[in-house]
Structures are given as C-alpha cells and as structure tokens.
Amino acid sequence: MPTPTPRATRAADPARLAAFNAASAADAERALLDCLDDRHWARRLTAHRPYPDLDALLAAADEASYDLAPGAVAGALADETTALPAAAGPAERTALRAAHAAYESRFGHSFVLCLDACPEDERLDRTLAAIRIRLGNEPDEERLVAADELRRRARARLARLLTPAAGSPRP
C-alpha cells in the first residue's frame, strides 16, 4: 500500500519555480532526470508546465510516478543507491553492505528508501530495519514498495530543487 504523501512543508522559491517553468524542455528534463531517472516521467512533467506552485508540481510528479511501467521502475532502480550514513563505522558498513547484497540477491535490484525526513543519527538503523522487513516481501509486493520509495525520493528531490535550503540566501 503506498505511503500517503504530505503536502509540501515549505513554499517553492518563486524565482526557482519561474525558472523551471521557463526553462527549455531539454533543461527541464535534465533537472527532472536528476530527481527520477525515467524519461517518460520527466517528459510528462515537462509537457505540463507551467506549474502555479510546488504543490501542483508535486501532485503531477506523484501522478506520473504512479503510472511508471514495471520496466521503467526497474530502470530507475538500477540508477539508485542508498548512501551510507556519515556516522557508520566499519562494523556498520559491513552490516549494511551484507544487507544490501542479500536484498539485491533476492530482488535483483538496488534497495531504495527515502530517508529525507529521517534524522542522520537514525538513518543506519532505519535502513537496516527496512531491509530486514522488506526481505520478507514477495517479489511483486516488493516491486510496489520500491516504486513507492522511488516516488517519495523523487518528490523530495523535486522539492529540494525548487525550495531554498533553510538559512540559505535566495538565488
């Protein structure tokens, strides 16, 4: 079952949103491909510009990601990685590598988990727990979970693309 997605918590920078809306199709697609590596998804979002606000863009991104074909999900998963938390020591890195290897062996693709709302000091534990839980999924069920995690990750990246970081000056 897909995870509900909250509305954007910060407004997009009007200048960034305007620049995205006015960018050439090629430039907009390139920016979107950094959020989710699927050309059909990026082209669909590019074609529906201009977006009046971040929530409208995120809603369109969600809708487009729900329509990803299984092959597109597999292709996008091939380009995803879950970075090791900065605080991970040698033992933790070994445990995480072993868990990732078990996951990839079972499902044939990289493990993906959106950790954007997770504090840095909880990421390792959450990642290991999620891998352990998801290893119990059937392949079809896990494909749906992984697709939802891709959607959540793309949404977070898209929000970061158009939202200034806290405390940063406006462009």
Q: Tell me: the pLDDT tens digits for 129-154?
A: 999 999 999 999 998 999 899 999 99
What is the pTM for the complete model shown?
0.80
- Residue 168 pLDDT: 44
Cα distance between residue 131 and residue 66, in whole Å: 23
pLDDT tens for each residue of 3-34: 444 444 457 789 999 999 999 999 999 999 99
- Whether 65 shows a pLDDT value over 70: the answer reads yes
Cα distance between residue 101 and residue 99, in whole Å: 5
